[in-house]
């Protein structure tokens, strides 16, 4: 399975991806983690990306595409992957399709985790306290939500038009959301 996981900031993409990895044995590729790790290592790309992320803006397409393609080109993605945090705009979605076709690993499912806006804001505020993430501060969150609706929401239509998109309700317990996702994927719901 090659899954593109979509949803607004705070929708639970990262949490669900980790649980899906445990249940499905797929590789979780989180662009947020890739970027934060590059920033921690102090690479030129990482430091440049960090300043952009800290303002609540999206990292430029060329940087993200190069980073994602390098990661998807590794051998450990042969059995499938869950891509979390990319694509974030229409240009990235089209670039990803071209990239995956070139690598012989086209996406076969896109899942949109839908969560009410008020619940998203509450989740992000809680995450900011628990994890101390600078990209979860009040003003940055408002900017991230604006950017999401302007740039990322069209990606949902793109995958819907390609017949790959399924919406999953992201409200409720983490385990309930996981069961909804596994149902979409037609996966046995019994714990691994």
Active site annotation includes 133 = yes
Cβ neighbours of residue 142 closer than 8 Å, sequence gap 6 or more: 56
Active site annotation includes 88 = yes
Catalytic residue among 50, 123, 127, 180, which?
127
Which residues does residue 113 pair with via DSSP β-bridges, in sequence order?
7, 168
Catalytic residue among 23, 71, 88, 123, which?
88
Counting beta carbons within 10 angstroms of the beta carbon of residue 155, is it exposed (0 to 12), middle (13 to 18) or buried (19 or more)?
buried
Active site annotation includes 50 = no
Active site annotation includes 146 = no
Catalytic residue among 13, 23, 71, 123, which?
13
Active site annotation includes 127 = yes
Please report how the helices 31-41 and 44-54 are oriented relative to each other, as an axis angle in degrees rounded to 10.
120
Q: Quick check: 9 and 124 in contact, CB under 8 A?
A: yes
Catalytic residue among 23, 71, 144, 180, which?
144
Catalytically active residues, by annotation: 13, 88, 127, 133, 144
């Amino acid at each position: 399975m090659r899954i593109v996981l979509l949803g607004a900031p705070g929708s639970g993409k990262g949490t669900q991806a980790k649980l899906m990895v445990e249940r499905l044995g797929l590789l979780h590729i989180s662009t947020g983690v890739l970027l934060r790790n590059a920033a921690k290592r102090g690479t030129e790309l990482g430091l440049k990306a960090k300043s952009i992320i800290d303002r609540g803006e999206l990292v430029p397409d060329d940087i993200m595409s190069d980073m994602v393609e390098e990661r998807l080109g590794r051998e450990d993605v042969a059995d499938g992957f869950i891509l979390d945090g990319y694509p974030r705009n229409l240009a990235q979605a089209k670039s990803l399709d071209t990239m995956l076709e070139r690598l012989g690993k086209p996406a076969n499912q896109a899942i949109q985790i839908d969560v009410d806006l008020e619940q998203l804001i509450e989740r992000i505020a809680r995450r900011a306290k628990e994890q101390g993430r600078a990209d979860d501060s009040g003003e940055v969150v408002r900017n991230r939500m604006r950017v999401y609706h302007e740039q990322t929401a069209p990606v949902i239509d793109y995958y819907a038009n390609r017949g790959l998109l399924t919406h999953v309700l992201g409200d409720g317990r983490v385990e309930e959301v996981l069961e909804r996702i596994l149902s979409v994927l037609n996966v046995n719901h019994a714990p691994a």
